[in-house]
Structure formats: C-alpha cells, structure tokens
C-alpha cells in the first residue's frame, strides 16, 4: 500500500532508527561475511612489495591501474598498455584489467554494498524494507519480470576498510592523529580559544571530549551530501555523499586523495525515502561502534587498537539538510537551521514563512502578528527544546494533529541519525550546521534580482518603480556593469581560480558559487560604488565585510566580535531599507539573511565556516562528474568512478610508492631556491647581473641604511648590478610574479599576479613587484629582497564608509620605489580599476583592492596555483 498518511512518514523514519540501533556486523544491513571477517582481522604490518616476479608484476599492474585510471577510457588504455608490455618483454606478465580490479579490491578490502532500489529512485530495499517486492511509493515491481533481476541498484562504500588502509603507512597514520591531539592540547589550555582555525576549536567538540564522549584516538568524520549535475544546464539529477576525515590537518584533509565517496543515489528523480538510501552507510558505522570499534593497526605506533567512528557534522544544502534533520525546511514557521526558536511571519493567504524581525504595518495574520523582536537578541540552538518538540510531533494521533504539530515544532519526522548511539555523534540538532557556500548562492539569488528590479521577486501588490535601490534595472547600466565585471578578469590573479564572467550575459548560464563570491563580495564594493545609492551601498558593504571575515580560515576573537556586529547591523538595516514594514515585501527576509545573525555564534560552536563548508563537496562532485564520458549509463559510470576513487586513494595511502604526487607539495621546480618559512624564489632568472636604475639603486641604499648598522656596511660599499628573479612562492600557495616578466607577455593572456599585500614599516601596504633579487653584505646572511613600487594610502573616507571593504588608491609611480624583504610579502592581491563609465575620467588612475576569499585554505575552495613552465627559462640580459 502506498505511503500517504502522516504516520507512515514517521513510522518509516522510526523503523530505520530502530534498525540502526539494532545494527550488527553481517546482518542484512550491508557487508558480506567474508568482507566483515577481513575487516575484523586486519593485517598488522605495512603493505610491502615482494621481490618475486609475481609480486613485481602485481606491483607494475597496480602502477598502471592507478596511473591510467585518470583517463576517460581507463580499461582500454590499461589493456593496450599491458599488451604492449607483453609484446616487448614476454617475461613480464601484468594482470588483466579484470584481474587487477579483483586484486585491488581484495588488497584494499573495499567492496561496494549493492542494494536494490526503485527504478524511479523513490526508495531503496534496505533495512526494514529489504523484504519488499515493490515500491511503497509508486508500486513499481522490484524485479524485472523478463530477467528476474533487480531493476536497479545503487552502491554504498563502507568506510571501515578504507580507514584501516590509511593507518598501514606510518607517515599517514601519524598525520591522522592531528585532530585528537589538538583537542587534548586545547583542553589543557587555561585560557579561552584566542583564534578559531578548525572545527576542534569550537566549543561543541571540546565539550564532547571534556565530558568523555570522545577520545583522542577516535576517528572523527564529517558526512557531506549534495546533488550532482551530470548534464550541463540541468538541475541536480543524482545525489552523492562523501566522508571527510578530520584526523588530518586542514591543509591536507580536503584534498582529493583523502575524500572518501560514500554512496551515489542515481536519478534523475529525487529520493522519496532518503533514510533507505542512507541506511547502508550509517548501518556500517553503527555496527562497527556497537561491536566495540574498528580494529585499526597503526603503523606509526605498531599498536592494534579499537577506535570508534565519531560523526562530528552532517552537512548539506538547505533542501538536502531536510533529509538529514527531519525539519520542515526553510519556508516553515520554524525555518532556522540552527533551531533558535525565532518564529516566521507569512503574507496573508500564503503559507511560506519568513523570519522578519519587525511587525509589518497594517498586519493582522493570526500567529504571526507578534510584536517587533529585539535585533540584538540572537539565541543559540536549543537541543533540549528540539527534543521536546520532537516528542510533541510523535504524539500526533491524527492527520490534522500531525499538521498542527509539524507547524508548531518545525519538525516533520525524526532524523535517521537518532539511530546512532548518542556517544558516536555530536548530537541533534548540533551536528547539522549551516553552509557558507550555499549562503553565497542564496544571498546572490536575493540581492541581484533586487538590484536589477526583477519582476520575478516583486510581489503583485508591490511596485518595482518604487524601488530606489534597483539601479541595474536600466538595460544599458546592467550591460555596462556586466562589462566592468568581465574587464576585471586580467587583474584577478590565477590563484583566484575562476574569474566571474559577465553577469549581464552569463548569470543564467551556470554561474558558479565561486563566481558569485568574487563578483559580489570581492568586486562588489568597488564596482557598485557610485551605482547603488549611498545608504544601500554602505549597508551592502557591511555584508561584504562580514562575509570576508566569515570566509577566513583563522578568525580571532576580536574579528569574531567585529563580524557579529557588522552582520547584525546589516540584517537590521536590510529590513529597514528594503522591507520597510511592507507585508508584500516579507519575502525579502529569507533564511539566508536570518542565518547571518548566527554566523559568529556558529564559529564559536564549530569553528570557521570554511572548515565545514560544501566547497569540498562541490570540488569532489566536479572531479567525479568530470571523469564521466560515457552517457549510455552515467549513474552506473559515476558509481564505478567512486569505487575506483576509494580503492586507488587507499592504495596510495598504504603504498606511498604508488602516489606519483606524494611529494608535490614539498618539491620545488627546477632552479628554485628555498628561502625558508615556506617561501621560495622561482625562475625566470637573469643569466647575469643587470644594472639597476638610479631610482632602484637609491631605494636599495635606503633599505640597507635602515636595516643595517653603519659599522656592518663596508666602507665604500655599493651595488650597481643585481640578478633578477621573476617569481616568489608564498606560504599560502600563491605565486607572486613581477612586472619584469609579466609586462613582456600579451596583456590579454595574463592574469596579473604582480600586486601584493605586504608589511612595510609596520603598516599594511600594497605594492607592485618589479622583481626579486638576493643581496649579500660583508659575508653576512644573504638577504632575499623585492624591488617594489608602493601604492598610495587609501581614501580614508571611503574606507570608513565601506566598513573597510573599499581600499581605493593610486599607483605610486617611480617615486614610490622601495626595497622590502620578501618575507614581508603576505599575499597576492588584485588591483582592479574603478569604472570610469560610472565615476568619470577623474577615477581612471584609481584602483581598488580585492583579496581572495578563504585564502588560508588554498585547496578547500579549491585552487592550488600550478607552476608555469614558461617562467622557468633564464633571461639573457
């Protein structure tokens, strides 16, 4: 009988919760008995490559399998390569493709759990529904009448064997201990956390360890789910979840080779009973924990111990989070993801609620006409209240009672995570955070239509003609503004990743979250200055300032306070400026605006948003879907890619010799010079010293006189010539270039990376690097220096009015030539020209600063700047 009644929705969730609570290894929830036995009896020695011909052939096969897996036709490439090797050297016998797949599967212990599912993705036949013969939603038979085989299946990858493989390499095992050790260190500190730079700095995880809920050697996990778009310009048509291993340092854990695919739910329809698809993976973890933990042999300590798998966070976008939490979603009366308890208001006759602070004028909607709320009062989530509300929902006896209780509580069903032992999850609803990647998308989806005066966002009782903020409504202005955005591309360094395309032409053609981030919150304060009326521009700049702080990997307590004040001020002013107590404009007060009020408290609770954001998930989906080239069955192809990704990553971790990129981070390109502190000079480089200009020589003499005691400088000392270097690698992964070589290249093909942020005479300054060079004075330590031209000081009034987001200045010219230590250079920035079409010719020489968001974590958002082979050549002077 199809599921329609309210009690079936609750009953289904409760059935899966009970099944998780009763989970045991080897039951109908997942792994076969042979795989379970292998997992419970792990090898207690590193994976070594033997000397016999058979073992060497197997190793060669694995090398080929790992290397050729990157290509589109991996099987064909592997088979062709093996055939060529056998023809040339008959004594070498690599395994066949099927043979190496079986070998890798056995060696890693990673075998997918295959589960039958409805052909229309309504449900999966797992756990309590594993015995059914037809779909509960659509009634479609489980088995094809003609073949007597399941009509469709999906794969889940159990994480236990993967984790065991990671610990079989001593170096990787040692790295996996970071999170637990950091937690212990933070707990021993007498002072409060001064700087938040990871999830372990958050109060929730620290409390969990202080109470004994977690231990240092537990395995800490994040699960992240999102929709994947397999075809261009189509909505998400399948769903993926992955596991992120918090044991690694943040600069490592988000890398492609450490992200573990969990499962793929084939589309194109969305799952109706999501619990049935999540069940195999959660059952696997629940069963491991119930059995006493995962037996892990640690190659670093040479100790076999049982570790619990602790799920710290479960992340998703807004619609996806409903599947995790059981909440009503963002349009409900209790729509806040943090469960703060603030009630929403809806328009007369409309069932969608919006978290407006101020009661609209002439507004009398029952249950929503409460008075103004205190803008300064920001309440945290209340787990106790959440549990009370869940009990109220579960007490519903009729359909009408269920609807009333759902509205009153903000909960539509119990979360499947309630089936996990409470000591193995952070807790509900604490483990369901907001997401700063989708926050950007949601803010863009609100602000841009407002600025453009879009009729799609205008209520029928409202008038766009009264929107004094809709400055981009004029087609000519919108077109000109779009061109200004596109014209900024050459000024945005390559390390900024994908530059925003012309929004006037491309905003409806797959505009990405990263583009919105750079467009609105990077370029926005500069390119909207002079367009937006002053009060709207100043309000917008407060949002930009808060978002820029929110996107930092390291956030101090002082910055957290500043961010909180800015975002509170923005939300209050936004409602005053745009809504104006007009009930027809209530829909501007979306949850993305409300969530800004919780941003600072969430950093205190679970660390910086960048460390748990969906940027990692988006990058992973992009990598996996980018490998699909056969469209006949893309879902099966994607599932196979996930299996292969997990197996290959496990092999690389356990046998480092298979990882061709294992030393990439520590290796420097040919001819580079390591300067220490993660700085390095990179070629191009002069073949011989060249003569400095008189201005450059004066700048060097000023530097030497300021930095060295006169007794140290030899009598008559002077330098006429220096050997120039073109590039400098910075500790954050960026490559700062120089005017010397960038100006030699076609300006239409260069992403300008010669402008830098630096510290000069204890002040924050910006400069254009001319070149880098090395200097020795009286056999002292070599000085590594940069010849720069400083930009002028910022316009103080604009800096103040923009909440410090618009640093506008002018190039200092030759008279501002200075020499600085390369270690005073902190990052590469963009210096973008102002729009003269808006501000006039008087601004043609002025530029404004744009910094890369989330710069500290170079791969999370995710770009690690590659070396440019063209720059390795030497220059003849």
pLDDT digits (tens, 9 = 90+) for 682-693: 999 999 999 999
Residues 6+ apart with CB under 8 A from 795: 808, 809
Q: Same domain, yes or no, for 690 and 576?
A: no
Domain of residue 560 covers 436-612
> Distance (Å, rounded) from C-alpha 839 to C-alpha 836?
5
The pLDDT confidence band at residue 168, using thresholds 50, 70 and 90, is very high
Degrees to nearest 5, angle at CA 332 with 328 and 334: 90
Q: Same domain, yes or no, for 149 and 248?
A: yes
The answer on pLDDT for 675 being more than 90 is yes
The answer on pLDDT for 325 being more than 80 is yes
**Location of structure tokens 């300067």:** 675
Q: What is the DSSP letter of 874?
A: E
The pLDDT score that the predictor gives to residue 877 is 39
pLDDT in tens, 771-820: 999 988 766 678 999 999 999 999 999 999 999 999 999 999 999 999 99
> Distance (Å, rounded) from C-alpha 809 to C-alpha 782?
33
Q: Same domain, yes or no, for 574 and 684?
A: no
Give a yes or no: residue 668 inside a domain.
Answer: no
Q: Phi, psi (5° rounding) for residue 153?
A: -135, 160
Are 855 and 518 spatial neighbours (Cβ–Cβ below 8 Å)? Answer: no
Instruction: Kindly state the average pLDDT of the residues 310-334.
Output: 90
> Distance (Å, rounded) from C-alpha 276 to C-alpha 692?
71
> Distance (Å, rounded) from C-alpha 481 to C-alpha 485?
6
Q: Same domain, yes or no, for 335 and 193?
A: no
Burial class (CB in 10 A: 0-12, 13-18, 19+), 85: middle
Are 200 and 179 spatial neighbours (Cβ–Cβ below 8 Å)? Answer: yes
Q: Is 765 helix (H, G, I), strand (E, B) or coil?
A: strand
More confident residue, 28 or 486: 486
Instruction: Kindly state the average pLDDT of the residues 572-598.
Output: 97
The answer on pLDDT for 373 being more than 80 is yes
Are 540 and 486 spatial neighbours (Cβ–Cβ below 8 Å)? Answer: no
Give a yes or no: residue 734 inside a domain.
Answer: yes
Q: Same domain, yes or no, for 821 and 680?
A: yes
When mean pLDDT is compared across 2-6, 694-698, 757-761, the lowest value belongs to 2-6
The pLDDT confidence band at residue 285, using thresholds 50, 70 and 90, is very high
> Distance (Å, rounded) from C-alpha 247 to C-alpha 220?
6
Q: Same domain, yes or no, for 168 and 214?
A: yes
Are 635 and 231 spatial neighbours (Cβ–Cβ below 8 Å)? Answer: no
The answer on pLDDT for 866 being more than 70 is no
Q: Same domain, yes or no, for 305 and 332?
A: no
Instruction: Kindly state the average pLDDT of the residues 13-41.
Output: 89
Tally of CB atoms within 10 A around 16:
26
Q: Phi, psi (5° rounding) for residue 747?
A: -60, -20
The answer on pLDDT for 76 being more than 90 is no
The pLDDT score that the predictor gives to residue 72 is 63
The pLDDT score that the predictor gives to residue 2 is 41
Burial class (CB in 10 A: 0-12, 13-18, 19+), 676: exposed
Instruction: Kindly state the average pLDDT of the residues 311-336.
Output: 90
The pLDDT score that the predictor gives to residue 670 is 86
The pLDDT confidence band at residue 862, using thresholds 50, 70 and 90, is very low
The pLDDT score that the predictor gives to residue 164 is 96
The pLDDT score that the predictor gives to residue 624 is 82
The pLDDT score that the predictor gives to residue 281 is 96
The answer on pLDDT for 705 being more than 90 is no
pLDDT in tens, 777-788: 766 678 999 999
Residues 6+ apart with CB under 8 A from 797: none
Please report, to the nearest 10 degrees, the dihedral formed by the alpha carbons of residues 681, 706, 740, 676 taken in order.
Answer: 10
The answer on pLDDT for 161 being more than 90 is yes
> Distance (Å, rounded) from C-alpha 805 to C-alpha 802?
5
Nearest to 812 by CA among 870, 874, 857, 769: 769
> Distance (Å, rounded) from C-alpha 381 to C-alpha 149?
47
pLDDT in tens, 31-56: 888 899 999 999 999 988 878 888 89
Give a yes or no: residue 420 inside a domain.
Answer: no
Q: Compute the residue count for the chain.
A: 877
Give a yes or no: residue 406 inside a domain.
Answer: yes
Name the CA radius of gyration of the chain, rounded: 29
The pLDDT score that the predictor gives to residue 3 is 42
Q: Same domain, yes or no, for 314 and 335?
A: no
Q: Same domain, yes or no, for 204 and 337?
A: no
Please report, to the nearest 10 degrees, the dihedral formed by the alpha carbons of residues 22, 24, 30, 34 taken in order.
Answer: -170
Give a yes or no: residue 423 inside a domain.
Answer: no
Instruction: Kindly state the average pLDDT of the residues 253-267.
Output: 90
The pLDDT confidence band at residue 319, using thresholds 50, 70 and 90, is confident
% of the chain with per-residue pLDDT over 70: 93
Give a yes or no: residue 66 inside a domain.
Answer: yes
E strand or H helix that includes residue 818? strand 817-821
Core vs surface per residue 519-544: b (16+ CB within 10 A) or e: bbbbbbbbbbbbbbeeebbbbbbbbb
pLDDT in tens, 646-660: 999 999 989 988 887
The answer on pLDDT for 717 being more than 70 is no
Q: Average pLDDT, whole number, for the chain?
A: 90
Domain count for the chain: 4
Q: Same domain, yes or no, for 762 and 729?
A: yes
Q: Would you say the C-alpha torsion 122, 124, 129, 134 has a positive or negative sign? A: positive
> Distance (Å, rounded) from C-alpha 584 to C-alpha 217?
55
Q: Phi, psi (5° rounding) for residue 646?
A: -65, -45
Structure tokens at 813: 């010219």
Give a yes or no: residue 664 inside a domain.
Answer: no
The answer on pLDDT for 663 being more than 70 is no
Are 46 and 170 spatial neighbours (Cβ–Cβ below 8 Å)? Answer: yes
The pLDDT score that the predictor gives to residue 682 is 96
Give a yes or no: residue 97 inside a domain.
Answer: yes
The pLDDT score that the predictor gives to residue 231 is 66
**Location of structure tokens 């040339």:** 88
Q: Is 244 helix (H, G, I), strand (E, B) or coil?
A: strand
Among candidate residues 383, 414, 445, the one where a domain is terminated: 414
Q: Same domain, yes or no, for 238 and 173?
A: yes
pLDDT in tens, 461-485: 999 999 999 999 999 999 999 999 9
Core vs surface per residue 687-698: b (16+ CB within 10 A) or e: eeebebeeebbe
Q: Same domain, yes or no, for 654 and 558?
A: no
């Amino acid at each position: 009988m199809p599921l329609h009644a309210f009690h079936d929705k609750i009953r289904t969730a409760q059935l899966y919760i009970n099944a998780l609570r009763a989970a045991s290894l080897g039951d109908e929830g997942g792994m076969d008995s042979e795989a379970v036995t292998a997992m419970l009896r792990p090898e207690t020695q590193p994976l070594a490559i033997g000397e016999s011909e058979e073992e060497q052939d197997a190793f060669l096969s694995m090398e080929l399998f790992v290397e050729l897996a990157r290509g589109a036709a991996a099987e064909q490439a592997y088979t062709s390569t093996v055939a060529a090797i056998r023809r040339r050297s008959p004594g070498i016998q690599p395994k066949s493709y099927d043979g190496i797949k079986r070998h890798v599967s056995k060696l890693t212990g990673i075998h997918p759990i295959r589960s039958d599912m409805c052909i229309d993705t309504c449900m999966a036949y797992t756990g309590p529904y594993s015995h059914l013969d037809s779909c509960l939603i659509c009634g479609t038979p489980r088995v094809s009448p003609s073949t007597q085989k399941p009509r469709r299946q999906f794969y889940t990858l159990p994480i236990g064997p993967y984790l065991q493989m990671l610990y079989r390499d001593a170096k990787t095992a040692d790295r996996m201990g970071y999170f637990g050790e950091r937690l212990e260190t933070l707990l021993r500190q007498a002072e409060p956390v001064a700087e938040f730079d990871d999830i372990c700095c958050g109060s929730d995880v620290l409390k969990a360890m202080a109470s004994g809920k977690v231990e240092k050697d537990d395995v800490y996990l994040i699960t992240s789910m999102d929709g994947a778009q397999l075809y261009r310009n189509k909505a998400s048509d399948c769903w993926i979840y992955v596991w992120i291993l918090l044991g690694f340092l943040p600069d490592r854990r988000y890398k492609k080779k450490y992200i573990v695919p969990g499962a793929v739910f084939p589309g194109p329809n969305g799952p109706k009973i999501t619990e049935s698809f999540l069940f195999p993976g959660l059952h696997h973890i629940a069963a491991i924990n119930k059995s006493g933990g995962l037996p892990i042999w640690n190659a670093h300590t040479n100790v076999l111990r049982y570790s619990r798998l602790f799920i710290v966070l479960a992340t998703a976008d807004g619609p996806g989070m409903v599947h995790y939490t059981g909440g009503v979603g963002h349009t409900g009366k209790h729509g806040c993801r943090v469960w703060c308890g603030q009630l929403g208001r809806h328009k007369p006759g409309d069932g969608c609620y919006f978290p407006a602070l101020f009661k609209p004028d002439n507004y009398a909607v029952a249950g929503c006409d409460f008075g103004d709320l205190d803008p300064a009062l920001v309440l945290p989530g209340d787990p106790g209240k959440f549990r009370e509300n869940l009990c109220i929902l579960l007490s519903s006896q009729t359909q009408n009672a269920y609807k009333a209780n759902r509205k009153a509580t903000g909960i539509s069903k119990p979360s499947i995570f309630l089936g996990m032992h409470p000591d193995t999850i952070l807790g509900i609803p604490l483990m369901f955070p907001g997401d700063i990647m989708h926050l950007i998308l949601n803010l863009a989806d609100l602000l841009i239509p407002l600025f453009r005066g879009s009729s799609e966002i205008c209520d029928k009782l409202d008038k766009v003609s009264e929107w004094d903020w809709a400055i981009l409504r004029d087609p000519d202005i919108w077109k000109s503004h779009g061109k200004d955005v596109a014209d900024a591309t050459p000024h945005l360094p390559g390390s900024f990743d994908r530059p925003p395309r012309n929004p006037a032409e491309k905003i409806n053609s797959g505009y990405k979250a990263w583009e919105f981030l750079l467009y609105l919150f990077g370029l926005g304060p500069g390119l909207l200055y002079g367009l937006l009326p002053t009060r709207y521009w100043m309000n917008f700049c407060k949002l930009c300032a808060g978002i820029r702080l929110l996107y930092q990997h390291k956030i101090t307590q002082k910055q957290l306070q500043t961010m909180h004040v800015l975002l509170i001020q923005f939300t209050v002013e936004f409602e005053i400026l745009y809504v104006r107590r007009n009930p027809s404009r209530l829909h501007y007060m979306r949850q993305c605006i409300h969530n800004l009020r919780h941003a600072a408290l969430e950093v205190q609770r679970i660390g910086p948003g960048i460390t748990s954001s969906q940027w990692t998930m988006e990058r992973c989906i992009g990598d996996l879907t980018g490998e699909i080239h056969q469209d006949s069955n893309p879902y099966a192809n994607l599932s196979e890619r996930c299996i292969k990704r997990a197996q290959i990553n496990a092999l690389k971790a356990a046998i480092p010799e298979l990882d061709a990129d294992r030393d990439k981070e520590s290796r420097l390109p040919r001819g580079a010079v390591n300067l220490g502190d993660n700085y390095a000079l990179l070629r191009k480089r002069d073949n011989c010293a060249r003569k400095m200009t008189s201005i450059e020589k004066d700048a060097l003499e000023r530097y030497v006189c300021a930095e060295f005691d006169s007794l140290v400088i030899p009598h008559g000392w002077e330098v006429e010539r220096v050997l120039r270097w073109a590039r400098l690698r910075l500790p954050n992964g960026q490559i700062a270039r120089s005017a010397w070589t960038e100006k030699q290249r076609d300006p239409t093909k260069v992403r300008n990376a010669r402008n830098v942020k630096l510290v000069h005479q204890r002040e924050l300054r910006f400069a254009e690097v001319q070149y880098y060079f090395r200097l020795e004075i009286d056999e002292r330590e070599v000085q590594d220096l940069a010849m720069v031209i400083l930009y002028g000081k910022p316009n103080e009034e604009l800096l103040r009015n923009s909440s410090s987001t618009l640093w506008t200045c002018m190039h200092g010219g030759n008279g501002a030539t200075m020499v600085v230590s390369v270690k005073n250079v902190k990052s590469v920035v963009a210096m973008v020209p102002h729009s003269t079409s808006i501000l006039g010719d008087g601004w043609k020489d002025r530029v404004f600063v744009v910094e890369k968001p989330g710069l500290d974590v170079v791969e999370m958002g995710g770009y690690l700047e590659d070396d440019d082979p063209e720059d390795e050549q030497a220059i003849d002077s």
